[in-house]
Amino acid sequence: MPIWAYCYCGLIVAGTIFNLFDKGKIKTVYQFSGETLSGVCGVSIFLIAYNIVHFKNSELLSTLCICYGFFWAYHAHRHYLNYNKFKSDIHKSAIEVHENMLKQIAEMKEAAIAEGAQPKEVEEQFAEIEQDYDFDETEKESYYLYIGVLVLLSALVIPYLYVYLISLGVFGN
Protein backbone atom coordinates (compact mmCIF):
# COMPACT_ATOMS: atom_id res chain seq x y z
CA MET A 1 0.00 0.00 0.00
CA PRO A 2 1.50 3.37 -0.95
CA ILE A 3 2.25 6.02 1.65
CA TRP A 4 -0.51 8.32 0.40
CA ALA A 5 -3.02 5.50 1.05
CA TYR A 6 -1.84 5.23 4.67
CA CYS A 7 -2.26 9.00 4.99
CA TYR A 8 -5.73 8.83 3.47
CA CYS A 9 -6.70 6.02 5.85
CA GLY A 10 -5.40 8.18 8.69
CA LEU A 11 -7.66 10.98 7.47
CA ILE A 12 -10.61 8.58 7.44
CA VAL A 13 -9.89 7.47 11.02
CA ALA A 14 -9.32 11.06 12.20
CA GLY A 15 -12.50 12.19 10.45
CA THR A 16 -14.47 9.39 12.07
CA ILE A 17 -13.17 10.31 15.53
CA PHE A 18 -13.91 13.99 14.88
CA ASN A 19 -17.45 13.17 13.74
CA LEU A 20 -18.03 11.07 16.85
CA PHE A 21 -17.16 13.92 19.21
CA ASP A 22 -18.01 17.01 17.15
CA LYS A 23 -20.12 19.42 19.22
CA GLY A 24 -22.04 16.67 20.98
CA LYS A 25 -23.61 15.73 17.65
CA ILE A 26 -24.00 12.04 18.44
CA LYS A 27 -27.41 11.73 20.04
CA THR A 28 -28.38 8.13 19.43
CA VAL A 29 -26.72 4.73 19.29
CA TYR A 30 -27.32 4.42 15.55
CA GLN A 31 -25.30 7.59 14.92
CA PHE A 32 -22.33 6.21 16.84
CA SER A 33 -22.65 2.90 15.02
CA GLY A 34 -23.14 4.60 11.67
CA GLU A 35 -20.05 6.79 11.98
CA THR A 36 -17.94 3.88 13.18
CA LEU A 37 -19.12 1.56 10.42
CA SER A 38 -18.55 4.29 7.84
CA GLY A 39 -14.94 4.66 8.97
CA VAL A 40 -14.40 0.89 8.99
CA CYS A 41 -15.87 0.65 5.48
CA GLY A 42 -13.61 3.43 4.23
CA VAL A 43 -10.47 1.76 5.53
CA SER A 44 -11.70 -1.66 4.36
CA ILE A 45 -11.81 -0.50 0.75
CA PHE A 46 -8.11 0.33 0.98
CA LEU A 47 -7.30 -2.99 2.63
CA ILE A 48 -9.19 -4.88 -0.07
CA ALA A 49 -7.76 -2.82 -2.94
CA TYR A 50 -4.15 -3.39 -1.88
CA ASN A 51 -4.69 -7.10 -1.07
CA ILE A 52 -3.95 -6.73 2.62
CA VAL A 53 -7.12 -8.66 3.42
CA HIS A 54 -8.77 -11.23 1.17
CA PHE A 55 -12.43 -12.20 1.01
CA LYS A 56 -14.32 -14.59 -1.21
CA ASN A 57 -16.42 -11.77 -2.68
CA SER A 58 -14.10 -8.81 -2.25
CA GLU A 59 -15.66 -6.83 -5.11
CA LEU A 60 -19.13 -7.15 -3.60
CA LEU A 61 -17.89 -6.22 -0.14
CA SER A 62 -15.99 -3.25 -1.54
CA THR A 63 -19.11 -2.10 -3.42
CA LEU A 64 -21.26 -2.44 -0.29
CA CYS A 65 -18.66 -0.48 1.68
CA ILE A 66 -18.52 2.42 -0.77
CA CYS A 67 -22.32 2.53 -1.10
CA TYR A 68 -22.72 2.57 2.67
CA GLY A 69 -19.99 5.20 3.03
CA PHE A 70 -21.67 7.55 0.57
CA PHE A 71 -25.10 6.87 2.05
CA TRP A 72 -23.89 7.62 5.55
CA ALA A 73 -21.91 10.68 4.48
CA TYR A 74 -25.04 12.14 2.91
CA HIS A 75 -27.35 11.12 5.76
CA ALA A 76 -25.15 12.36 8.59
CA HIS A 77 -23.81 15.51 6.95
CA ARG A 78 -26.55 16.67 4.59
CA HIS A 79 -27.09 19.85 6.60
CA TYR A 80 -23.64 21.00 5.44
CA LEU A 81 -24.75 20.66 1.82
CA ASN A 82 -27.82 22.89 2.25
CA TYR A 83 -26.76 26.19 0.68
CA ASN A 84 -29.37 28.31 2.49
CA LYS A 85 -28.33 26.92 5.89
CA PHE A 86 -24.66 27.34 4.98
CA LYS A 87 -25.30 30.96 3.93
CA SER A 88 -27.28 31.62 7.11
CA ASP A 89 -24.42 30.30 9.26
CA ILE A 90 -21.93 32.53 7.43
CA HIS A 91 -24.18 35.56 7.98
CA LYS A 92 -24.57 34.78 11.69
CA SER A 93 -20.82 34.51 12.07
CA ALA A 94 -20.17 37.70 10.08
CA ILE A 95 -22.76 39.66 12.07
CA GLU A 96 -21.17 38.48 15.33
CA VAL A 97 -17.72 39.54 14.12
CA HIS A 98 -19.11 42.90 12.97
CA GLU A 99 -20.81 43.54 16.33
CA ASN A 100 -17.61 42.66 18.20
CA MET A 101 -15.68 45.06 15.97
CA LEU A 102 -18.15 47.87 16.72
CA LYS A 103 -17.83 47.20 20.48
CA GLN A 104 -14.03 47.34 20.23
CA ILE A 105 -14.18 50.59 18.28
CA ALA A 106 -16.48 52.10 20.90
CA GLU A 107 -14.08 51.01 23.66
CA MET A 108 -11.12 52.48 21.78
CA LYS A 109 -12.99 55.77 21.33
CA GLU A 110 -13.84 55.92 25.04
CA ALA A 111 -10.24 55.15 25.98
CA ALA A 112 -8.92 57.86 23.65
CA ILE A 113 -11.33 60.44 25.05
CA ALA A 114 -10.45 59.39 28.62
CA GLU A 115 -6.77 59.98 27.79
CA GLY A 116 -7.58 63.54 26.79
CA ALA A 117 -8.19 63.40 23.06
CA GLN A 118 -10.83 65.67 21.60
CA PRO A 119 -14.06 63.87 20.67
CA LYS A 120 -14.02 65.46 17.21
CA GLU A 121 -10.48 64.18 16.52
CA VAL A 122 -11.42 60.70 17.72
CA GLU A 123 -14.44 60.63 15.40
CA GLU A 124 -12.27 61.73 12.47
CA GLN A 125 -9.78 58.93 13.15
CA PHE A 126 -12.51 56.28 13.07
CA ALA A 127 -14.57 57.87 10.27
CA GLU A 128 -13.08 55.67 7.55
CA ILE A 129 -14.10 52.43 9.26
CA GLU A 130 -17.25 50.90 7.81
CA GLN A 131 -19.97 51.02 10.47
CA ASP A 132 -22.67 49.15 8.54
CA TYR A 133 -22.90 45.41 8.04
CA ASP A 134 -22.11 44.61 4.40
CA PHE A 135 -24.80 42.09 3.47
CA ASP A 136 -23.83 41.87 -0.22
CA GLU A 137 -20.17 41.20 0.55
CA THR A 138 -21.13 38.43 2.97
CA GLU A 139 -23.46 36.94 0.34
CA LYS A 140 -20.58 36.83 -2.12
CA GLU A 141 -18.22 35.33 0.48
CA SER A 142 -20.72 32.63 1.43
CA TYR A 143 -21.26 31.74 -2.25
CA TYR A 144 -17.54 31.31 -2.92
CA LEU A 145 -16.98 29.48 0.38
CA TYR A 146 -19.76 27.05 -0.54
CA ILE A 147 -18.19 26.43 -3.94
CA GLY A 148 -14.87 25.88 -2.15
CA VAL A 149 -16.45 23.31 0.16
CA LEU A 150 -17.92 21.44 -2.80
CA VAL A 151 -14.57 21.48 -4.64
CA LEU A 152 -12.79 20.24 -1.50
CA LEU A 153 -15.31 17.43 -1.05
CA SER A 154 -14.83 16.45 -4.69
CA ALA A 155 -11.05 16.47 -4.29
CA LEU A 156 -11.33 14.23 -1.23
CA VAL A 157 -13.60 11.76 -3.01
CA ILE A 158 -11.37 11.26 -6.08
CA PRO A 159 -8.68 9.13 -4.32
CA TYR A 160 -11.44 7.17 -2.58
CA LEU A 161 -13.06 6.34 -5.93
CA TYR A 162 -9.67 5.49 -7.42
CA VAL A 163 -8.99 2.96 -4.67
CA TYR A 164 -12.50 1.56 -5.07
CA LEU A 165 -11.80 0.99 -8.77
CA ILE A 166 -8.53 -0.73 -7.83
CA SER A 167 -10.49 -3.02 -5.51
CA LEU A 168 -12.76 -3.95 -8.43
CA GLY A 169 -9.74 -4.75 -10.57
CA VAL A 170 -10.27 -1.88 -13.04
CA PHE A 171 -6.77 -0.58 -12.30
CA GLY A 172 -3.81 -2.69 -11.24
CA ASN A 173 -2.29 -2.19 -7.83
Please choose, from the candidates 148, 145, 155, the residue with its C-alpha nearest in 3D space to the C-alpha of residue 11. 155
Cα atoms in the 13 Å half-sphere on the side-chain side of 163: 25
Residue pair 90/77 in contact (Cβ under 8 Å)? The answer is: no
Please choose, from the candidates 164, 170, 173, 168, the residue with its C-alpha nearest in 3D space to the C-alpha of residue 42. 164
Quick check: 6 pLDDT over 90? yes
Per residue in 34-84, pLDDT (tens digit) is 889 999 999 999 999 998 888 888 899 999 999 999 999 888 877 777 888
Lowest mean pLDDT among 14-23, 29-38, 122-131: 122-131
H or E element: which one contains 65? helix 58-77
State residue 4's pLDDT score.
Answer: 93
Residue pair 50/166 in contact (Cβ under 8 Å)? The answer is: yes
From the centroid of its chain, how far is CA 10?
A: 16
